[in-house]
Structure 1
């Protein structure tokens, strides 16, 4: 057992106030590196800053400063000849990495970081910092800025793929024929389930602009069984599903908005059951990351800034209250390896 002095000397010291305040430099630098494709250029071969500047058509001096800045954080490693190679811990910055987070980094360090200009207003009032910074809500902003919305779509797909793999391993899909993903974005989550279960067909519900772009990009395995359908998921959700899915949606909205969405899902499930009395009762799978520890504070603060007024991170008890208010029954609770919790529900 080490002595107290041994333990204190091996414990990393927290950054000082000026260092912490300057940490945004690294976030923005990482987003620029992602946009320039520096991870792809250095993943398998070390290159000089001059070579990378020529390949990315950037200013050699400025790119060298960017690379050295990110090397301080371990994003790039520098060999004895001054060449840069992507660090092992940052392989997911590569767009083709199986767990790529390239677009997540761009979204977090650009649009979301800009929204944190409204943090003071959120802390003072509890209202959305995004609206304070941009004068509109997140989704209204995205609809008016197609390039930012495309980055958002790709980022959500990157976050969805590992959750789909974790959920697909769960029993309960064999008896289902149709899965309906409520607020499913570009369809990456649903596509992952269809790839794992070839008998399954899916319907992805989202805003018209999201569905139009996703349908244009469709073409991978499972896409022949995937339909995109524009819908106001707070008003009406189509009947006919065996499984209804809500993933990473409820924590983006206030209690009242979440209640409207779940009520619409319950109505769709009840309509499905009434139309075919002999059919197995539809199920709703709510897949959400819960907020249950003090260490979840940064995520909860993030939701308050980015999402609509009244949004809050939900723990299991709060999520259950929301489900019960929507007149749904919780049939079971399960934790996934992805860190998400699954509530299986029925009317």
Structure 2
């Protein structure tokens, strides 16, 4: 083998090792969240030593050498910073950066609930069945847990709470960007129905930012039955596969990626019936895959597609061409994609 080929072959080996051990990095991140390391550093208001971090951990005798190895790994991954302190005999101190600020438990914007969900054994178990799905079809989640995702959540209050907390934290992050980047899009809307809106948190935020909008939060009857009163929002129970309440615009965030093309077609056709022929519009907040994309979130979007494969029956992330096909067949002849600085994009679609 030529030297050039040998180097490429060795680099290929290194790449496989990097992917193989990716789960180790995830577990180190989970460890930091569960130990509240970011919160401990934040409470001091400045970088601190290992012993200071250890003193804040809920344990009578934390293992400092073990902690040092965890921190060394997380610093290497640019999750925390380290440098020598000029005030502590040049002892190493650890600080927060723009990544670790997302690990604060009580911050307004935090990814802690999502980290705890995605690293939970219940959520990881379906990935051991992906090869069986390729061989014989079916849902990886059902193979792992003997029931589908939503059934598992309804029967398991602990998992349901973990899942709801994770969805709430990402909704807050995504909706902040939607409201900031789509101000003009809501300006012309008199009434809006949020399909799959849960207990109405998103609808409430939209109406709060745009008080002229009459908000309708639409979800399954047992979901809206527990929804709190929100000013400017009415709660309506029903099934999106049967019919959707009429409004000037239909809003859906991270709903369609849970469903197969056949199921999405039913939902989209009901959306088409719910809005005015000439002035109505559909606002979708969902992932748009780009094969050769190079922004910060592209690898994450691809990973979400595998999440959908593992956890849903037919759910998937879609390319622009796949979105276009669905929209046109459902009666939305025009659309545009608005990129926002987060994982999903806004897809604005109009009837033919």
Return the TM-score normalized by structure 2.
Answer: 0.76
Farther-moved stretch of structure 1 (67-76 vs 310-319): 67-76
Determine helix, strand or coil for the equivalent of 1:236.
coil
Contact 1:330/1:343, CA 8 A, preserved across alignment: no
Segments of structure 1 that go 5 or more residues without pairing to the other structure are 274-279
Q: 1:101 is matched with which residue?
A: 111
Q: Distance in 2 between matches of 1:134 and 1:13?
A: 36
Q: Structure 1 residues 268 and 248, CA, compared in 2 at 3 Å: closer, same or farther?
A: same
| Aligned-CA RMSD value | 3.4
Aligned length: 322
Determine helix, strand or coil for the equivalent of 1:199.
coil
Q: Structure 1 residues 151 and 330, CA, compared in 2 at 3 Å: closer, same or farther?
A: farther
Return the TM-score normalized by structure 1.
Answer: 0.77
Structure number with greater CO (CA < 8 Å, separation at least 6) is 1
Contact 1:76/1:85, CA 8 A, preserved across alignment: yes
Query: Quick one: which of 266, 290, 298 aligns to 1:292?
Result: 290
Query: Quick one: which of 335, 338, 345 aligns to 1:335?
Result: 338
**Is 1:92 the counterpart of 2:99 in the alignment?**
no
**Is 1:265 the counterpart of 2:271 in the alignment?**
yes
Q: 1:61 is matched with which residue?
A: 62
Q: Structure 1 residues 88 and 179, CA, compared in 2 at 3 Å: closer, same or farther?
A: same
Segments of structure 2 that go 5 or more residues without pairing to the other structure are 85-90, 293-298
Q: 2:242 is matched with which residue?
A: 235
Contact 2:327/2:349, CA 8 A, preserved across alignment: no
Matches within 5 A, 1:158-169: 158-168=169-179, 169=181
Q: Distance in 1 between matches of 2:140 and 2:258?
A: 13
Matches within 5 A, 1:115-264: 115-168=126-179, 169-170=181-182, 171-208=184-221, 210-211=223-224, 215-216=227-228, 223-239=230-246, 241-264=247-270
Determine helix, strand or coil for the equivalent of 1:42.
helix
Determine helix, strand or coil for the equivalent of 1:329.
coil
Farther-moved stretch of structure 1 (101-110 vs 77-86): 77-86
Q: Distance in 1 between matches of 2:72 and 2:125?
A: 24
Contact 1:202/1:225, CA 8 A, preserved across alignment: yes
